[in-house]
Structure 1
Amino acid sequence: MADSVAVVILNYNGRNYLEKFLPIVIQNSIPHEVIVADNASTDDSIDFLKENYPDLRLVEISKNLGYAGGYNEALKKIKSDFYVLLNSDVETTPHWIDPVISLMKKNEKIVACQPKIKSFHHKDYFEYAGAAGGFIDYLGYPFCRGRIFSNLEQDQGQYDDSIPVFWATGACLFVKSQAFHELGGLDDKFFAHMEEIDFCWRAKNHGYQIYYCGESTVYHVGGGTLKAESPFKTYLNFRNNWLLLFKNLSIEEFKAIKKRRKRLDLLAAIQFMAKGKKANANAILKAHRDFKKMKDDYKSNPSNGLDHPEVFKKSIINQFFVKGKRIFSGLNM
């Protein structure tokens, strides 16, 4: 019997994206099931789905639980061997599912995987959220093959391989359902942003592997829920990054980088102030305050969370801004 695959789109006020991309997702996902989980949208998403897709399974969530909580709630109700957590602003391509599932089935230790993520608006280029697989430096700054900070590479076939990575993007995250529930799913307290990195890091700390599959491609719009300049997005990114570190590093590793990370965050706040973005600067300070309140809910990782080959042992900030290394191949991972 073939393994079952459920493509689950978490929607929040994304009616326009559903109208644009859902028909393509359904067409390209046959024979697999496509499900929409609605995170208490206040637009006409649900009416649109019920009128135009009466046979599509719809999971309605009573309030907006964010990306993490929304998927946790929805996936409790979905029985499948594999889940595909797919953003509503993603355009799929023919045969996008099978290469990833085939790769994951070849190695029982692979519990999460992503395809190649390219830009919907600039289709020759990688897209910010995931590109060709995620990595992280020892200070906790995430980056990707094909994307370091805001620098996006053109896809010239340089990442057509399939390799282990540190994290797979939540924009299009393939995950084995058994492992998802075994590891406790996504962390609800993150709400949104970096919850997939936390999940992947926890999985790696438990001996599992995360992969990138270069044989599958999707196109991502990006920024569909929170724009890049949103102070709330700034807040979530900085707060969740501290939670990410505290949870997945040993206490010794966390203490070793704590002061340097504080200085770098202060520098980021000063830069926001210099650009006239006081709300974003204040968001960083609030993120630090809330991290201190929340960290007591967690225990640090008992082993060395940096002891993975996909962790960059240098500072990506120094490599990018000081040494001018703008693409992944120049990092000497």
Structure 2
Amino acid sequence: MKIAVVILNWNGVQLLEQFLPSVIKYSPEATVHLADNASTDDSISFVMANFSSVKIVKNDSNLGFAGGYNEALKHINAEIYALVNSDIEVTENWLQPIIKTFEIESHTAIIQPKILDFKRKEYFEYAGAAGGFIDKYGYPFCRGRIFDTLEKDSGQYNDNREIFWASGACFFIRSSVYNELKGFDADFFAHQEEIDLCWRAFNKGYTIKYISESVVFHVGGATLQQGNPKKTYLNFRNSLLMLTKNLPEDRLYWILFCRMVLDAIAGLQFILQGKFMHFMAILKAHGSFYTLYYVHYQKRDKFQSEKYYNEKSIVYLYFIKKVKIFSDIFGIGINIKN
């Protein structure tokens, strides 16, 4: 099975210097590619000088995460794409259990490994942890991470199981499925595009899985810090766009209305915390959403599954009921049935 590890880069020469060696060392089964989003630093010359085995694909401009991968993957021939952030440290044999799963499970289209925190290696990392889910209103959460609460890895998620979405930090997908779905939605630019892609795959009946035997460590926030207002803008806007594209028709407008109310409450919280730039980011996100609504409504597929969630409101459980740990809500895990 031909697999391509593809690292998207924009002005990340220091990250490449730190993390690319582990990818090359522990990925003998794959070809390693650098997809460069028109960097202005020494990224390309550094890789060419130090890692001659790495194949380089140059994008003409910074197309973000979504557009950057869409453009680069047009030039990469493989059965499996492993899309890996430049701030990921991989471990020995990280590819083998994932390749094996793809080989024996023909209907599994997307896979995520266990993602731990590079800075605190005994803890799960924010972006994906042990596999992602969403609630009825589209709020994402993970086994091992609900909102800002990160669990310590004590082996509680050492399993291989179905999930709803896989993290874009380390995202494996069959190239045939990627092409069938026309890749990421480039309008998202960055953030939640992987959830949108997984939701579209789910609506078509494909399986998304978490494989715990494969372990990687993620720095997180190396490109855009968690407290950055631009990240707030992209997360709020893209979440609304994702709902517009993927919700069942009979739930679409009611859930969008509920999200607008909840977003207004979030904006009020930002004001009370003195985070006025984040409040303005939410206003900007909604303005952009209204402008883009019709275009994204036209992107809807013919079928949207009713069974996309397993919890009505993770917001209620976390902030009102004060339940912070995934296993306290769901036990060991969630069963997803399409």
Give TM class, smaller chain.
over 0.9
Check the 8 A contact 1:249/1:304 in 2, yes or no: yes
CA contact (8 A) 2:29 2:95 kept: no
The RMSD of aligned alpha carbons is 1.1
Matched residue SS, 1:331 = helix
How many Å apart are 1:198 and its aligned residue? 0.3
The structural deviation recorded for 1:323 is: 1.1
Structure 1, residues 281-321: CA drift from partner, whole Å, max 9, x if none? Answer: 1110111111111111123454444424xx12320011011
C-alpha distance in 1 between matches for 2:29 and 2:253: 50
How far apart in 2 are the matches of 1:301 and 1:316? 26
Matches within 5 A, 1:34-45: 34-45=32-43
Contact 1:253–1:304 under 8 Å retained in 2: no
Unaligned runs of 5+ in 2: none
Letter in 1 for 2:133: F
Q: How far has the Cα of 1:42 moved from its partner?
A: 1.8
Residue pairs, 1:1-333, within 5 angstroms? 3-298=1-296, 299=298, 300-308=300-308, 311-332=309-330, 333=334
Q: Which letter maps to 1:307?
A: K
TM-score when normalising by structure 1:
0.96
Q: Give the gaps of 5 or more residues in structure 1.
A: none
Structure 2-normalised TM-score? 0.95
Q: Which whole-Å CA distance do the structure 2 matches of 1:305 and 1:249 have between them?
A: 8
**CA 1:286–1:305 in 2, change beyond 3 Å: closer, same or farther?**
farther
Distance across 1 between alignment mates of 2:173 and 2:126:
21
Match of 1:287, SS state, is helix
Matched letter for residue 123 of structure 1: K
Task: Output the CA distance in 2 between the equivalents of 1:274 and 1:234.
Answer: 16
1:286 maps to a residue whose letter is: K
Aligned length: 329
Percent sequence identity is: 50
Q: Call closer, same or farther: CA 1:120–1:259 in 2, change over 3 Å.
A: same
Instruction: Supply the distance in 2 between the matched residues of 1:243 and 1:83 (Cα, whole angstroms).
Output: 25
2:134 alignment partner, SS class = strand
Q: Does structure 2 retain, via aligned residues, the 8 Å contact 1:251–1:301? A: no
* 1:155-193 Cα shifts (integer Å, max 9, x gaps): 011101000000000000010011100111100000000
**Does structure 1 conserve the Cα–Cα contact (< 8 Å) formed by 2:240 and 2:256?**
no
1:259 Cα deviation after fit: 2.1
Residues 119, 125 of structure 1: 8 Å contact kept: yes
Aligned residue identity for 1:67: F
Which deviates further from its counterpart, 91-100 or 259-268? 259-268
Contact kept, 8 Å, 2:37 with 2:60, in 1: the verdict is yes
Q: CA deviation at 1:43?
A: 1.7
CA distance in 2, matches of 1:95, 1:70: 27
- State the secondary structure of the residue aligned to 2:217: strand
Tell me which amino acid in the other structure corresponds to 1:74: A
One-letter amino acid of the structure 1 residue matched with residue 31 of structure 2: E
Q: 1-side partners of 2:104 and 2:136: how far apart? A: 30
Distance in 1 (CA, whole Å) between partners of 2:95 and 2:313 is: 35
The answer to whether the 8 Å contact 2:243/2:256 transfers is no
**C-alpha distance in 2 between matches for 1:104 and 1:151:** 31
CA offset at residue 270 of structure 1? 1.2
